[in-house]
């Protein structure tokens, strides 16, 4: 899909938007600038990841990299980052962004997570940041002892602090979205990565991150287009320019 003109996402029918609310693949491919402005929580995920793993000598694959938020942050420490996506519009946006920033160690490639365009045993780490994973393909392109990493919000609060507001549920304690809420750590077996062979257990890190936006109006406009009027009203009523997420990073080392 060809990207729409920058900023065009701001004009839409709230009752019948096209693309519709929650249609993230369509929204990101049609309005990559909208998605890029929204995805600040990705910065928090990668910054936390940098405190766990030293990427300085690593060749990293960022699968479903979108407009490049995760790749850009990874490139600040990693030796080289290959970024893949299946939407030409977000690839073009990402390429323009890394060129604008003068980044030399990111290379964008068109690629499907189910058939990655890379040879076996090519990477030191494969990362899925807010992207649907294919663990088997990730295992194939990873070197022995390479890291497989999945990052997103915790499953029970996929829309961050407004999950219950949007869905009319009461699925979590609101305290987890306070910046002072403590980090958590646990280990799980390899079934969370489709039982691919691992050196040990999967490390799971959870932490709270506040994404700060330019203004209340900007945040309300962005989430209003993505999630609908309830989301817009939530931040407008509270005069809130931050969006809190309880994030989760899963890390395993593959055994070959």
pLDDT mean values, one per 10 residues, the chain (256 residues)? 93 96 94 97 98 98 97 98 97 97 97 97 98 97 98 96 94 93 98 97 98 98 98 98 98 98
Question: Looking at the domain 23-158+183-213+243-253, which fold is it?
Answer: Rossmann fold (3.40.50)
Q: Are 150 and 133 in contact (CB under 8 A)?
A: yes
Is this structure's pTM higher than 0.85?
Answer: yes
Delimit the domains of the chain by residue range.
23-158+183-213+243-253
Instruction: State the Cα torsion 171-223-36-71 to the nearest 10°.
Output: -10
Inter-residue long-range contacts of 51-57, CB under 8 Å, 24+ positions, other chains counted = 52/203, 52/205, 52/249, 52/251, 53/125, 53/147, 53/149, 53/251, 55/79, 55/124, 55/125, 57/124
Strand spans (E) along 20-85: 59-63, 80-85
Per-residue pLDDT at 171: 83
């Amino acid at each position: 899909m060809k990207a729409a003109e920058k900023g065009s996402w701001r004009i839409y029918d709230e009752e019948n938007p096209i693309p519709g609310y929650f249609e993230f693949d369509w929204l990101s491919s049609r309005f990559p600038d909208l998605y890029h402005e929204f995805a600040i929580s990705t910065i928090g995920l990668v910054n936390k990841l940098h405190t766990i793993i030293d990427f300085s000598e690593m060749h990293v694959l960022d699968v479903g990299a979108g407009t490049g938020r995760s790749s850009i942050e990874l490139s600040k420490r990693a030796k080289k980052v290959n970024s893949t996506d299946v939407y030409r519009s977000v690839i073009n946006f990402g390429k323009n962004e890394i060129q604008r920033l003068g980044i030399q160690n990111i290379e964008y490639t068109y690629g499907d997570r189910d058939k990655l365009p890379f040879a076996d045993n090519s990477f030191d780490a494969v990362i899925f940041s807010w992207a649907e994973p294919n663990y088997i393909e990730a295992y194939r392109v990873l070197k022995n002892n390479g890291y497989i990493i999945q990052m997103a919000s915790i499953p029970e609060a996929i829309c961050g602090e407004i999950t219950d507001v949007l869905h009319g549920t009461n699925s979590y304690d609101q305290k987890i979205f306070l910046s002072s809420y403590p980090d958590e750590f646990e280990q799980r077996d390899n079934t969370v990565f489709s039982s691919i062979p691992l050196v040990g257990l999967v490390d799971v890190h959870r932490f709270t991150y506040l994404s700060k936006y330019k203004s209340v109006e900007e945040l309300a406009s962005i989430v209003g287009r993505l999630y609908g009027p309830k989301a817009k009203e939530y931040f407008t009523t509270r005069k809130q320019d931050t969006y809190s997420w309880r994030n989760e990073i899963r890390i395993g080392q593959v055994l070959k």
